[in-house]
Amino acid sequence: MPKPSFEKKIELLAPAGDLSRAKTAILYGADAIYLGGMNYSLRSRASNFTMEDIREVCQFAREHGARVHVTTNIIPHDEDFDGVGDYFKALQDYGVTAVITASPAYMQIARQCAPELEIHCSTQLSITNTLTAKYLSEMLHVDRVVLARECTLPEVQEITKHCPVETEAFIHGGMCVNYSGRCTLSNRMTLRDANRGGCAQSCRWQYHLYENDKELSDAQSMFTMGSKDLMSASVVKDLILAGVSSLKIEGRMKTEYYVASVVSGYRHLIDALYEKNFALSEEEMVYHTKEIMKGENREVCNGFYDGRAEGESIIFHAFDNNHVSHDFLGRVKTVEDGTAYLLTRNPIDMGDVIEVLSPGKENRRFTVTGMKNDKGESLDRSRSPMTVISMPVPFVVEEGDIFRRAG
């Protein structure tokens, strides 16, 4: 199978809800991150970034050869234009690579005030066809088209083939019951405008079902419109070969462990595909898919890539904890003479096999042969999350490394 005809390796683009998660994403293999500032961005309930945070993360990204994209993807009203030109100029000065926007007016202002910034049109524009992609390139002079999550694989291939600029496709994370997040449920039900950063995720609530004014009382009585998360490891090869420029992970509201696990999983999959000329065995694909899924806490599906997303892509049942992972055991705070001091998150027992997730390294494993609490007392088990315990590790680990249960 021939390699893709483009020169540079495909970009792995990861979410960053705050400064710590931004650095984690870069360290664990993201080529670029996307983040939101305090204004002009969806996900207003994420921690988001002050201007000083953006300056700091841009410096960190430069030091590690990564890029920073900033979301300005709200649907703006008149009051949302105050200061936006100065904002774009500051982002350019700090070293931001691109702004992601759904507003043609924002695109025009960014081009005028900060011409060095790339302009990426947001998935909020629901780009599902070649003509729209060409129009955005020719009339609004965007540098990249972020495709709608509702595109099938053949549609992504066709749009990318004929689009005069780069395309970006989602490969992992939350889906939406409306087209590309253009939802009105949240505004209608909670007065929180999803298109201005306030989504209450109404589609994921549990609803009571009634028939002829009588509430149903069987197992199906609780209903949600929420979609399963996207997990498309199986089409990463096809997206690369189609010439897509960037593979995007959704999740600015997700945890640091999620970011590290999912980014690391896709990083290893992408690198393996390039190294083996895009010919991974079934066993290798199973391994990489399993690694990606270690950070996921929701049911997943392949989205629209296989065609229409049928009923199996929707969570029709009441929520439960069956898919909540307790594998994240903690992060290393310090290391002294072969002993790791771990800030714990979930239970650990003597004899457990722990897998260590380290930036830029293959995963390594060891068996717990001893544990002590912060008073130096020996433990048979740890059951107090967010406390520090120590344990010997038979190889070198570093501050920030992640310990998780081996599976």
Q: At 101, which helix (H) or strand (E)?
A: strand 98-101
Residue 2 has pLDDT above 80, yes or no: no
Task: Tell whether the model's pLDDT for residue 22 goes beyond 90.
Answer: yes
Average pLDDT for residues 33-43, to the nearest whole number?
83
Q: Residue 198 has what pLDDT?
A: 67
Instruction: Kindly report, residue by residue over 122-165, the tens digit of the pLDDT.
Output: 988 889 999 999 999 999 999 999 999 999 999 999 999 999 99
For position 319, what pLDDT does the model report?
Answer: 58
Structure token pair of residue 290: 């399993």
Assigned token pair, 118: 């790339």
| Confidence (pLDDT) at 5 | 45
Measured between alpha carbons, how far is 177 from 313 in angstroms, rounded to an integer?
10
Express each pLDDT in 326-354 by its tens digit: 789 999 999 999 999 999 999 999 999 99
Question: Pairing between strand 207-208 and 222-223?
Answer: antiparallel
Is 273 strand, coil or helix? helix
Residue linked to tokens 């939802």: 183
- Average pLDDT over all residues of the chain: 89
Pairing of strands 222-223, 348-349: unpaired
Return d(Cα 385, Cα 381) in angstroms, integer. 12
Confidence band, pLDDT 50/70/90 cuts, at residue 3: very low
